[in-house]
A = this chain, B = another copy of it.
Amino acid sequence: MRATGFGVSAGMSKPMAIDLATSIDDDRLRPFLPLVYVAWSDGELAPEEVTGICELVAGYSGIDEDCQVALRRWLDPLDPPTPQELEALRLQIAEWAESLSVEAAGSVVELGVAIAESTRPGAIVTGDEMSALADIQTEYGPFGPVPAVLGGPIRLRDLIEPAAPFDTERLTSILDGKHTRIRNRMRAVLTRPEFAYPDQPDRDAYRELVLVWTRILADEGLGVLSYPEPHGSGDPASFVVAFTMLGHHDLSLMTKFGVQFGLFGGSIARLGSARHHDEYLAAVGSLALPGCFAMTETGHGSNVRDLETIAVYDPDTDEFVVDTPNDLARKDYIGNAAAHGQLAVVFARLIVGDADNGVHAILVPIRDADGTVLPGVTIEDNAGKGGLNGVDNGRISFDHVHVPRAALLDRFASVDDHGVYHSDIPNPDRRFFTMIGTLVGGRVSVGAASVNVAKSVLTTAIRYAHRRRQFGPAIGAETLLIDYPVHQQELIPRLAATYAYHFAFENLISDYADQEGDQRKLEAEAAGLKAYASWHAIDTVQAAREACGGQGYLAVNRLTSMRADADIFTTYEGDNTVLTQLVAKALLSEFGQQFESMNATAMARYLFHRASSTLVEASPVTLSTTDSDQLVDAGWQISQLRWREAHVVESLAQRVKKRIEVGTEPTEAFVQVQSHAATAAACHVELVTLEAFVSAVDEIGDESVRRALDSLRALHGMSVIRANLGWFQEHGRFSGATSRQIRKVHQQLIQEVAAYSLALVDAFAIPEQVLAAPIAAYTND
């Protein structure tokens, strides 16, 4: 029974009479002795926590006064036990522990109970003792595993089971999965001598080299992978995977490849009709016809709907007249424009008669076959960029350029022989989003390629960390970088995240290839994963660069070029920040197709119902757990992220709804909640990514590989949860003790995974010639 008064000040008086050595034999103290030992030996309890433990025990009237006095003496911060007294305590506990079974001594608290039960006359642990122990555990945990010095066999490594050395090739085949064939084909092509890296060529030479490389890939038939038969292989997934494998090689090549075959060719394939396919796809796929995807303008990048270039139908000549009405309407940052492009897919407002039908795609020649810029077309070179200098980006403007009516890519809308505009999609908004939606492949591709950039740089940095030594003990070799906790902390959680994203993109690529899937969901997932994977990539390259010190800064090790090139991944194919808002809106729309028309009552009922069903998943015991087994459990981790996503999305919905109700214009309402919306998007992507990782691990048959990846998954889940401990506590989800334990277990997992991190990067199977960094080479050491 809990007593009402605590006697705090009495608790601080100093009971000098107690002899610690003798008091070890006082059987009333036994349940608490392992806790006492850990409290001191661990060195991780603050004085106020030690005092707090005394107060907690003092709150139980069933624990007698003498026992409390002795305990207070043991825990007195002003007069701690000597090392000798502590050692005597340790030896006694270890002796008792030896006689117990392992199962009985899982945690320090359980060890105390087990000792008391096996050594005390009567062998009973009272209810008050149990309650006091449980309280201490809850308030001042973690007191999870029994330290080895107490005779306990349990360290986290053992709890999760040591990662047996596993078969790296087996892991590679799991990672390659159903795309093994195209991945191996790309590995073979890219290791050919033609693909060796040049020594910092000047801009023009670099652009020409990239063109040559792109042609080799076209000759290999890789350019037409995604096009419908008979023009190509009708295999969009393989095209995406081929593109992403270029993420290990030169990223200018990757981008040029994507511009030519993906954006330019892809828009002809998806927005054009059979006539366009017959006329162009073969030449595009062979690179006989280099071209541009001319969407972005100087004035409008993210906001495509408000592009200003116009294509006006001229009934007299039966042509479209393409024009750039002002400087901000110039097409800008267009790949293939500055040097090589001959034909451009131009996104322009289609004006027929008095009607502005909104943005459509139309083919406009910009150079002849000799490379001479055509009349009415003006092209400027974007010149130097932060990276990707092997791609010839440029700025295009049109001065009343005439193209035939057939130049309109007319799958979704056309102008007939009588000069009348037709579309099967009457709603202009829906028509616009349908056209733009067909281009989702770009986001899938850039996101997935980002993951491969991360794999490349982690391979380099983790191999270097297993070779480079610096500082160390007074005697003997210096310490390997990989053995430093701060070094592990920079690299290992990012390695875990990279695996998580890998599996998330494997799912996304499958969804993309599935023509029958939910297009709206695909677009939202692609937007979210592209944004967070590209941020992950540049963050990881930077961490890898710093982890390799001065060597990391040398161009020859390729980290800095990866960094400079991948930087723009966060902007192109959709500004990441704008993408997060798209994701948030998609999440809100899950509340019902007619979110905006839902009345307050219906909304509240829906939200309340949803909140209750989510909350029910976790009992209060779960919320304040310090049990490592539970914290690393896949189901537990998923349930935390699911709860968080649901909670954040619900509160976002409420905020938007309330603003609209009081008359705020919906656009403005969304602007006001942008930060909250970005958080909702992050929560969603974190959940989807962890879920993908969990499913992938579940499917692994090989036991040793499965175990290794399960620890990696546990680490990743823990990283995400740890990064949000403030939020989880704020929402009453975790106690301070749970929060501390999470940080502790996270550290332990990092250390565990670091031990086999070399195998984890080797499994990416990036060919030596492609990785190319001397500091990562296995062959010259």
Interface residues of A (CB under 8 A from B): 40-48, 77-80, 82-83, 149, 199-200, 202-203, 296, 300-303, 306, 332-333, 382-387, 470-474, 478-479, 483-487, 489-490, 538, 542, 545-546, 549-550, 552-556, 559-561, 563-564, 567-568, 570-572, 575-577, 580-581, 600-601, 604-605, 607-608, 611-612, 615, 647, 650-651, 654-659, 661-662, 665, 667-668, 671-672, 674-675, 678, 724-732, 736, 739-740, 747
CB pair B726 A731 closer than 8 Å: no
CA distance A560 to B675 in the complex (A): 26
What are 23 inter-chain pairs, A to B, with CB distance below 8 A?
A: A45-B654, A48-B611, A78-B604, A82-B600, A301-B549, A302-B470, A302-B471, A383-B555, A383-B556, A384-B556, A473-B665, A473-B667, A473-B668, A486-B577, A486-B674, A542-B567, A545-B567, A550-B572, A553-B568, A725-B730, A729-B729, A730-B736, A730-B740
- With a cutoff of 8 Å between Cβ atoms, the chain B residues found around residue A564 in the complex are 386, 560, 563-564
**Once the chains are docked, how many angstroms separate the CA of A302 from the CA of B546?**
13
Task: Give 5 A-B pairs besides A384-B554, A384-B555 with Cβ atoms closer than 8 angstroms.
Answer: A200-B203, A306-B478, A383-B556, A385-B553, A729-B729
A200 touches B675 (CB 8 A): no
Nearest Cβ in chain B — how far from A753, in angstroms?
15
Least Cβ–Cβ distance between A286 and chain B, in angstroms: 30
Task: Report Cα–Cα, A97/B300, bound state, in Å.
Answer: 47
User: Are A546 and B732 in touch, CB under 8 angstroms?
Assistant: no
Known: A46-B650, A83-B600. A736 touches B732 (CB 8 A): yes
Q: Once bound together, how far apart are the Cα atoms of A580 and B546, in whole Å?
A: 14
A410 CB to nearest chain B CB (Å): 29
Least CB distance from A530 to B in Å reads 14
Contact B472 A667 (CB under 8 A): yes
Q: In the complex, how many angstroms separate the beta carbon of A560 from the nearest chain B beta carbon?
A: 3
With contacts A200-B383, A384-B554 known, is A671 near B78, CB below 8 A?
A: no
> Given A385-B554, A570-B546, A678-B486 in contact, is the A604-B739 Cβ separation under 8 Å?
no
Return chain B residues, CB-CB under 8 Å to A605.
Answer: 77-79
Is the CB–CB distance between A671 and B479 below 8 Å? yes
Query: How distant is the Cα of A384 from the Cα of B558 in the complex, in angstroms?
Result: 10
Across the interface, do B301 and A550 meet the contact criterion of CB distance under 8 Å?
A: yes
Report whether B730 and A485 are in contact in the complex, using a CB–CB cutoff of 8 Å. Answer: no
**Which residues of chain B are within 8 angstroms of A303 by Cβ–Cβ distance?**
470-471, 478
Residue of B nearest to A612 (CB): B47
The chain B residue sitting closest to A81, CB to CB, is B600
In order of increasing CB-CB distance, the 4 nearest A-B pairs are A386-B560, A43-B658, A384-B555, A725-B726
Contact A739 B729 (CB under 8 A): yes
Using CB atoms, name the residue of chain B closest to A87: B662
Cα–Cα, bound, A472→B671 (Å): 9
The complex places the Cα of A79 from the Cα of B333 at a distance, in Å, of: 53
Report whether B672 and A42 are in contact in the complex, using a CB–CB cutoff of 8 Å.
Answer: no
Q: Which chain B positions have C-beta within 8 A of A654? A: 43-46
Contact A79 B601 (CB under 8 A): yes
CA distance A557 to B522 in the complex (A): 36
Q: B489, A675: Cβ atoms under 8 Å?
A: yes
- Chain B residues with CB under 8 Å of A659's CB are 43
A78 touches B608 (CB 8 A): yes
CB-nearest residue of chain B to A80: B604
List of B residues within 8 angstroms of A489 by Cβ = 675
CB pair A662–B41 under 8 Å, yes or no, is: yes
Contact B546 A485 (CB under 8 A): no
Cβ-neighbour of A559 out of B40, B386, B487 (below 8 A): B386
Q: Which residues of the partner chain B approach A479 to less than 8 Å between Cβ atoms?
A: 671
Taking a contact as CB atoms under 8 Å apart, the answer to whether A542 and B553 are in contact is no
Are B560 and A546 in contact, with the CB atoms below 8 A?
A: no
Shortest C-beta distance, A395 to chain B (Å), equals 10
Residues of B within 8 A of A301 (CB): 470, 549-550
Q: In the bound complex, what is the Cα–Cα distance between A572 and B551 (angstroms)? A: 12
Q: Write the chain B residue with the least CB distance to A568.
A: B553
In the complex, how many angstroms separate the beta carbon of A518 from the nearest chain B beta carbon? 26
In the complex the two chains form, what is the Cα distance from A727 to B742 in whole Å? Answer: 12
A491 to chain B, nearest CB (A): 12
Residue on B with the closest CB to A576? B546
| Closest beta carbon of chain B to A238's beta carbon, Å | 30
Interface pair A567/B571, CB less than 8 Å apart: no
> In angstroms, how far is the closest chain B Cβ from the Cβ of A312?
24
- Looking at the assembled complex, report how far the CB atom of A336 sits from the nearest CB atom of chain B, in whole angstroms: 16
B555 and A386 contact, CB distance less than 8 A: yes
Contact between chains at A549 and B563 (CB < 8 Å)? no
Q: Which residue of B lies closest to A472 (CB)?
A: B667
Q: Which of A42, A382, A554, A726 has the most CB of B within 10 A?
A: A726
Partner of A553 from B45, B386, B485, B487 at Cβ < 8 Å: B386
Which of A77, A485, A730 has the largest number of chain B CB atoms within 10 A? A730
Question: Which B residues lie within 8 Å of A561 (CB)?
Answer: 386
Cβ distance A280 to chain B, nearest Cβ, rounded Å: 27
Pick the residue among B78, B538, B553, B577 that contacts A571 (CB under 8 A): B553
Which single member of B538, B651, B728 contacts A44 (CB below 8 Å)? Answer: B651
Residues of B within 8 A of A472 (CB): 667
Interface pair B44/A615, CB less than 8 Å apart? no
User: B612 touching A385 by the CB < 8 A rule?
Assistant: no
A571 to chain B, nearest CB (A): 5
Chain B min CB distance to A721 (Å):
10
The distance from the CB of A484 to the nearest CB of chain B, in whole angstroms, is 6
Contact A542 B546 (CB under 8 A): no
Which residues of chain B come closer than 8 Å to A41, judged between CB atoms?
A: 658, 662
B485 with A674: CB separation less than 8 A: yes
Cβ-defined contact, B576 with A747, below 8 A:
no
